[in-house]
């Protein structure tokens, strides 16, 4: 059930919201990840370091069997799905907390479809990239939570989820190569 008491998310976000209204510069942030591997002979495995400022995690990655890999580690498509699932999950949890809605169950599963013939240059008419993504949310709230509040919470999460909106709108991507021969 919704309550009017202060929330953990409100306690952390309210000062930021006030600050960003008069000082928008600090609201402009940059997230990072980097693939780290030397000149190993294995083209199907590697590591990605995600995060900054002491919150780094090293993730093992592999290539999907559909492109010749072993799919024995998460592949980049899995990582893309994970980014959307994590962002929508955390966004929904923060909004629920701000609204005083107690979630009794939340699972976000993301699936993405791709035809790899384009990436393998089997058929140049097949676009390289995912053709569709689905975000499936399994959600339950505490008994007595009004349905309209739950619907507003979900709509707010869709509006505020940075990764979801980036994927929906697209974003310019540049490649800068620094060669060491």
Mean pLDDT by 10 residues, the chain (181 residues): 65 94 94 80 89 85 94 96 98 96 97 96 95 98 97 97 97 92 77
pLDDT of residue 55: 83
Distance CA 92, CA 156 (A): 8
Could you tell me the pTM of the whole model? Answer: 0.89
Among candidates 145, 168, 146, 164, which has minimal Cα distance to 156?
A: 164
pLDDT of residue 141: 98
Among candidates 144, 48, 50, which has minimal Cα distance to 100?
A: 144
Phi, psi of 83 (to 5 degrees): -60, -45
Q: Which domains does the chain have, with CATH numbers?
A: 36-74 (no CATH), 75-171 (3.30.300.20)
Residues sharing a CB contact under 8 Å with residue 3, sequence separation 6 or more, in sequence order: 100
pLDDT of residue 2: 43
DSSP one-letter string for 93-128 = HHHHHHHTPPEEEEEEEEEEEE-TTTTTTS-TTSPS
Q: Strands, DSSP E only, in 5-150?
A: 33-36, 45-50, 57-62, 103-114, 130-141
């Amino acid at each position: 059930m919704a309550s009017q008491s202060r929330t953990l998310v409100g306690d952390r976000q309210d000062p930021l919201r006030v600050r960003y209204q008069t000082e928008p510069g600090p609201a402009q942030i940059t997230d990072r990840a980097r693939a780290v591997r030397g000149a190993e002979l294995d083209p199907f495995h590697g590591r990605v370091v995600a995060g900054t400022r002491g919150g780094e995690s090293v993730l093992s990655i592999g290539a999907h069997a559909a492109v010749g890999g072993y799919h024995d580690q998460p592949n980049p498509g899995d990582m893309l799905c994970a980014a959307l699932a994590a962002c929508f999950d955390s966004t929904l949890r923060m909004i629920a907390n701000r609204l005083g809605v107690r979630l009794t169950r939340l699972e976000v599963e993301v699936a993405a479809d791709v035809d790899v013939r384009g990436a393998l240059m089997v058929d140049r008419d097949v676009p390289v990239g995912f053709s569709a993504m689905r975000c499936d949310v399994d959600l339950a709230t505490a008994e007595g939570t009004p349905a309209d509040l739950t619907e507003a919470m979900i709509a707010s999460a869709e509006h505020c989820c940075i990764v979801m909106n980036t994927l929906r709108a697209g974003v310019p991507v540049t490649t800068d190569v620094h060669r060491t021969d």
